[in-house]
Each structure stands twice: as structure tokens, then as C-alpha cells.
């Protein structure tokens, strides 16, 4: 396998709206991010992934872009951005941008033109279809609720929107669209940005037949006709040839619905498409008929099986992105660990250990390094996320779920759990803003905040700092070969890594109960690199405490 800086790096995701507000309007901004670069440097991360900061009407918090080459007013201006890039680079931190090009905002000038008339030069920038028998062109359901088609009066036709109706899908089969996007990407790269995280890039090529989908819930499933469509690899290869390969950058694709086969195509070492992809099988574990809207807990054995599968199958062929949380997922400690105060710290450290010692590039989502938890809003008025609000309305009004049940689903799975403000200190509004935050602060900020953890050498923050610094010291953590141990154990996730003569053993107890195990002979006398409890004996038969984790090196 080839060495690369983006394999050796740790990436930190910033959701700018909720990170740090510099001017008291209750909305995080670029100046706020600049003021926290030293904090990130102290944590030791190498790359920032910035969620969208472009001009946007904010129907989906910046994932609906109306101008790719301007900064959202609430976040600052282009001068602020240039400052951020310069200040990050001074600290040896790279910045990758969110590239949202499956769709634009309906307020983007291209769409404003496109909807004017059938003859408009921009008409073919989007996907327009005639209705069928006075209805939508097919039965596809939008991923944000309702039909995926919106009727437009002006021309008596429908346009496709996989997400909200304010996020019309671009027509990638039009080469003018592709050339415009490549031009815009070059413009950012010439500025010096270090790469892209490509939003739902697996959806850009649609099956030209637009057939009805199998009914799931209220609508037909569009995924088989939009994910990994007929030209997606051809377009990514073109993008790579014309843009990506001209720069020393990194790329990660958000490849919704990706399978192993497809991942090897998107991110295969010699494929000239992307450097790595996000897969979602491990976080979708437990989804039912209504997708993520369930109160089912995740299944540990299934989770472990999926993680191991991706480790084993991509080894030597493609590179993994390692993540447990992001701005679309609930807080990882609440979902996969235990956010009860008795176990929050231990389980957050355990999850970090398990993830950071695997093969792949680890991603830290803002606040994860503090063990921030779900917010558990119990009133619909507290929610801000379009997905949560739309599905609450759709599933309760249709009678498929009771409001009480749906509220429970939101508490466990809503994206807003990850979007409450970063908890900087124990002052009012958690030090995030001097004004009133756009979304409520998690009330546990008095106990969980950065200021307190920076003072405490045993904090989750310092544990992450140590994990990240170990990665810099030991190549085996980056490049070592992965092999699972105790595949069928119901509590323990354990695996080894091997590189030349060196070996590493990671052991994690994912349960709230003690767990017995035997340390393999070959690790006799090994050194303990990190542990989340106070164990000193690492030989023979041992009993792991709840959520205990450690890493041995020999
Ligand atoms: C991606 C983003 C998500 C957004 C959606 C539409 O999944 O991560 O936040 O809502 O795409 O752009
Ligand atoms: Ca602000």
C-alpha cells in the first residue's frame, strides 16, 4: 500500500454554525473558527473539514448553495476566509471544503434561469420531467419527506429534488454543468484549499429511465436508480483528470448507499477517482421500514461484523474513513457508548480507542473530543433541522406513528443532537455566544465543556490528544495490517495490527458488564500505549471492566 499524508492525518469536522460565534448574533462564524485554531492545534489534528460556508438561504444549513464563490453573510466574508486559510496553514493545519454539487439552492442563478422557460439556456442544468396522468413523473420519495418531484407552474413541468424542494438536483449529464463545477473547484484550489469532502457524490448520475421505486413507507425508493448510477465513475474520472490530479490534495466522497464493490471503484488505489469514501453501514445498523426513525438500539455484534468487513475487504485495495459521528448523526457516545454520567467518560474514550487504532483516516466531529452527548429535546419547537421537522409532520399526520413515539425517535436519531453549540466553558450559552444561540445549548454544558477538560489531565480531550500523538509516533497505527480477534464475542471488540516485526493489540469492552478474555501469548511482556482505566496487568486471563479499553504494543 502506498504512503500518503492523508492516510497519516487525523481530520476534525467543523459545523460552522454551531462552533463559535464571534459577534453575538447567535450564529457561529469564520472569525470564531480562527479564534479556536490554537485549541485544534493543541488537540493535534492535521486537517479541518469545513461544512459548507457558502452563500445560502439555509433551508438545509448551507447544504443548499446559492453562490459557490461567496461566503454566507452570517459567517463573514471572503477576507475572513482567506485569513482562516492562512492562519490554519501557519499552524500546519490543512483545510478541506465541503463540495455540494449534487444539487444547488433553488435560489442559485442557474435555477432561477432554468425554471423561466423550456428554451432557457440553463433549462438543461436541472432535471425536468412532464407529469404522468396529472401526477408526479414517478413515485420517488424525497430523502427529506414528501415526493422527490416539485411541480413548477411556469412551464407546467416537475423538477427532481432528492433532498428538500429548495435543493433541485443538477443534471450531471450536461457537460456544461460539469465544466462549470470543475471551474469552480479550480478556483478554490487556486486559493490554496487542500481538498474536498464531496456531498452525496454517489447520487450524481441518475438512471435515465426514471422508473418507479419499490414502496418503502409512503413513497417509492429512489436509491437503486440514483445511487452509483450509470455514469458516476466516468464523471469522477473526468473530474480527477481535469481537476483533482493537478493538485496535491485529498478527497473523500460521501457515498450514500455504498457497497464494498462500489467503494473499491470510488476509492481503489489505482482507480484515479477519490482517495476515500464514507460508508454508512455501521451507522445505519438498526434502521427499519421508516429508515432511521426507530427507537431500536444498535446491535453490537452486527456493528462489529460490519466494521471488520470494511477493514478486511478494503485492506491493500482502498482506504477507509473512520467515523462514528458527524453533523447528520446523533452523538457517538449516546449512540454507541453510554452517556449516563457513570459511564460517559470511560465509554467515550473506549469508542475513540476502537476507532483510532483501526486502519483508515480517523474523523473527529466537533465536541466528540469532549464526549458531548445527545441533547434529547422533548418539544418539536426546539428542533431546527428540516429533516426532523418534515418527517415528524409526515409520519404523524399520516397516522403511521404517534407523536409520542416519533418524539422518541427524534431524541435518539435527530441530526440536531449533533448540532447544538460547541461547549467551550461553563458560562451562560456554554461560551459559544454572547447572544442567544440559534439552537438551544445542551443543558449539560456546566459539567461537559472544553475549559474544564483542558485543566484535567485525565479528560476525554487529553485522551484524544494522546491517541492522535501516538499515530504520529507509530507507523503501525497507520499502515499495520488489521486482523480481528474473538469475532463472535458479544461484548469485546479486539483486533491486532502488524507491520514488519511490530504488533499492536487493541481491546475494547463495548458493554456495561464485566467481560472475560485471555491476552494472546504473543503479547506477553508488551507495553501498554494507552488505557482508559487504571489496569496494570496485561497478561493471561483478565476481566475487563465496563467499557474498558487498552492498546498493547510489542
Ligand atoms: C449530505 C449532508 C447533509 C445534507 C445532505 C443534502 O448528506 O451531509 O447534511 O442535508 O447531504 O445536501
Ligand atoms: Ca456570528
Is residue 31 within 8 Å of residue 81, measured between CB atoms? no
Q: How far does residue 459's CA lie from ligand 1's centre (Å)?
A: 32
How many angstroms from the chain centroid is the CA of residue 263?
Answer: 16
What pLDDT was estimated at residue 289?
Answer: 78
Q: Which atom of ligand 1 is nearest to the CA of 63?
A: 12
pTM over 0.95: yes
Instruction: Quote the cell numbers at residue 81.
Output: 476566509
CA distances from 411 to 98, 123, 399, 445 (A): 27, 41, 20, 18
Q: CA of 541: how far to CAs of 172, 485, 497, in Å?
A: 58, 15, 21
63 lines ligand 1 (CB under 6 A): yes
Which residue is it, cell 422527490? 148
Residue 344 is placed in which grid cell?
460517559
DSSP string, 183-249: HHHHHHHHHT--EEEETTGGGSS--TT-PPPPEETTEE--HHHHTT-TTHHHHHHHHHHHTGGGSS-
Query: How buried is residue 414: exposed, middle or buried, by Cβ count under 10 Å (0-12/13-18/19+)?
Result: buried
> Distance between CA 416 and CA 252 in Å, rounded?
23
How far is it, in rounded angstroms, from Cα 93 to Cα 187?
A: 20
Task: Tell me, in angstroms, the distance from the centre of ligand 2 to residue 135's CA.
Answer: 43
Half-sphere exposure of 496 (CA within 13 A, CB side): 16
Asked if 75 and 16 touch (Cβ cutoff 8 Å), the reply is yes
pLDDT for 290: 85
CB 59 within 8 A of CB 10: no
Please write the tens of the pLDDT for every residue from 457-489.
999 999 999 999 999 999 999 999 999 999 999
> 161: CA distance to ligand 1 center in Å?
13
Is residue 163 within 6 Å of ligand 1 at its C-beta?
A: yes
8 Å CB contact between 29 and 53: no
Element (H, E) at 482: strand 481-485
How open is the CA angle 202-207-209, to the nearest 5 degrees? 165
Q: Cα-flanking dihedrals φ and ψ of residue 82, to 5°?
A: -60, -40
Q: Are 276 and 360 in contact (CB under 8 A)?
A: yes
Reported as a single tens digit per residue, the pLDDT across 22-75 is 999 999 999 999 999 999 999 999 999 999 999 999 999 999 999 999 999 999
Residue (of 523, 549, 397) closest to 460 by Cα position:
549
Residue ranges, the chain, pLDDT below 50: none
Ligand 1 pocket test, candidate residues 68, 99, 328, 388, most atoms within 8 A of CB:
328
Q: What are phi and psi of 449, to 5 degrees?
A: -160, 160
CA of 474 to the centre of ligand 1 (A): 35
Q: Is 200 in the pocket of ligand 1 (CB under 6 A)?
A: yes
Q: Is 98 in the pocket of ligand 1 (CB under 6 A)?
A: no
CB of 140 within 6 A of ligand 1: the answer is: no
- Active-site residue flag, 261: no
Does the beta carbon of 278 sit less than 6 angstroms from any atom of ligand 1?
A: no
Q: Which ligand is nearest to the CA of 25?
A: 2
Amino acid at each position: 500500500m502506498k504512503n500518503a499524508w492523508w492516510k497519516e492525518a487525523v481530520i476534525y469536522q467543523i459545523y460552522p454554525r454551531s462552533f463559535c460565534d464571534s459577534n453575538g448574533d447567535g450564529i457561529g462564524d469564520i472569525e470564531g473558527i480562527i479564534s479556536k485554531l490554537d485549541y485544534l492545534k493543541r488537540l493535534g489534528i492535521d486537517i479541518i473539514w469545513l461544512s459548507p460556508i457558502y452563500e445560502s438561504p439555509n433551508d438545509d444549513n448551507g447544504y443548499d448553495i446559492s453562490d459557490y464563490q461567496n461566503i454566507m453573510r452570517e459567517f463573514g466574508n471572503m477576507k475572513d476566509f482567506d485569513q482562516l486559510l492562512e492562519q490554519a496553514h501557519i499552524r500546519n493545519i490543512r483545510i478541506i471544503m465541503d463540495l455540494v454539487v449534487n444539487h444547488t439552492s433553488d435560489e442559485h442563478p442557474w435555477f432561477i434561469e432554468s425554471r423561466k422557460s423550456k428554451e432557457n439556456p440553463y433549462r438543461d442544468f436541472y432535471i425536468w420531467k412532464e407529469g404522468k396522468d396529472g401526477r408526479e413523473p414517478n413515485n420517488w420519495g424525497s430523502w427529506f419527506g414528501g415526493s422527490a418531484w416539485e411541480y413548477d407552474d411556469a412551464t407546467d413541468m416537475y423538477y427532481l429534488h432528492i433532498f428538500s424542494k429548495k435543493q433541485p438536483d443538477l443534471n450531471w449529464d450536461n457537460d456544461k454543468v460539469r465544466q462549470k463545477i470543475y471551474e469552480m473547484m479550480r478556483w478554490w484550489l487556486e486559493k490554496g484549499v487542500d481538498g474536498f469532502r464531496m456531498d452525496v457524490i454517489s447520487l450524481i448520475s441518475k438512471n435515465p429511465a426514471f422508473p418507479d421505486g419499490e414502496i418503502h413507507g409512503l413513497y417509492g425508493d429512489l436509491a437503486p436508480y440514483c445511487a452509483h448510477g450509470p455514469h458516476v465513475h466516468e464523471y469522477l474520472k473526468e473530474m480527477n483528470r481535469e481537476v483533482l490530479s493537478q493538485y496535491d490534495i485529498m478527497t473523500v466522497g460521501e457515498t450514500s448507499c455504498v457497497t464494498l464493490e462500489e467503494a473499491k471503484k470510488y476509492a481503489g488505489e489505482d482507480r484515479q477517482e477519490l482517495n476515500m469514501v464514507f460508508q454508512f453501514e455501521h451507522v445505519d445498523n438498526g434502521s427499519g421500514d421508516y429508515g432511521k426513525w426507530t427507537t431500536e438500539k444498535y446491535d453490537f455484534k452486527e456493528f462489529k461484523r460490519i466494521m471488520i468487513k470494511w477493514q478486511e475487504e478494503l485492506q491493500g485495495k482502498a482506504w477507509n474513513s473512520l467515523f462514528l459521528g458527524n453533523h447528520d448523526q446523533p452523538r457517538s457516545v449516546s449512540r454507541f457508548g453510554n452517556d449516563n454520567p457513570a459511564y460517559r467518560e470511560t465509554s467515550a474514550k473506549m469508542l475513540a480507542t476502537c476507532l483510532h487504532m483501526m486502519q483508515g483516516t480517523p474523523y473527529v466531529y466537533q465536541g466528540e473530543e469532549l464526549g458531548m452527548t445527545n441533547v434529547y429535546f422533548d418539544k418539536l419547537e426546539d428542533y431546527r433541522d428540516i429533516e426532523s421537522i418534515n418527517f415528524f409532520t409526515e409520519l404523524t399526520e399520516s397516522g403511521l406513528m404517534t407523536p409520542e413515539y416519533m418524539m422518541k425517535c427524534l431524541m435518539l436519531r435527530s441530526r440536531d443532537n449533533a448540532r447544538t453549540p460547541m461547549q467551550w466553558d461553563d458560562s451562560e450559552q456554554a461560551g459559544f455566544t454572547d447572544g442567544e444561540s440559534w439552537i438551544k445549548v445542551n443543558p449539560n454544558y456546566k459539567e461537559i465543556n472544553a475549559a474544564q477538560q483542558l485543566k484535567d489531565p485525565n479528560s476525554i480531550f487529553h485522551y484524544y490528544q494522546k491517541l492522535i500523538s501516538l499515530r504520529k509516533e507509530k507507523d503501525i497505527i497507520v499502515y499495520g495490517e488489521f486482523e480481528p480477534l474473538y469475532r463472535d464475542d458479544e461484548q469485546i471488540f479486539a483486533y491486532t495490527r502488524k507491520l514488519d516485526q511490530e504488533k499492536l493489540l487493541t481491546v475494547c469492552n463495548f458493554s456495561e458488564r464485566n467481560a472475560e478474555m485471555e491476552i494472546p501469548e504473543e503479547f506477553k511482556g508488551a507495553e501498554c500505549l494507552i488505557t482508559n482505566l487504571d489496569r496494570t496487568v496485561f497478561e493471561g486471563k483478565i476481566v475487563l471492566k465496563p467499557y474498558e479499553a487498552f492498546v498493547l504494543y510489542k
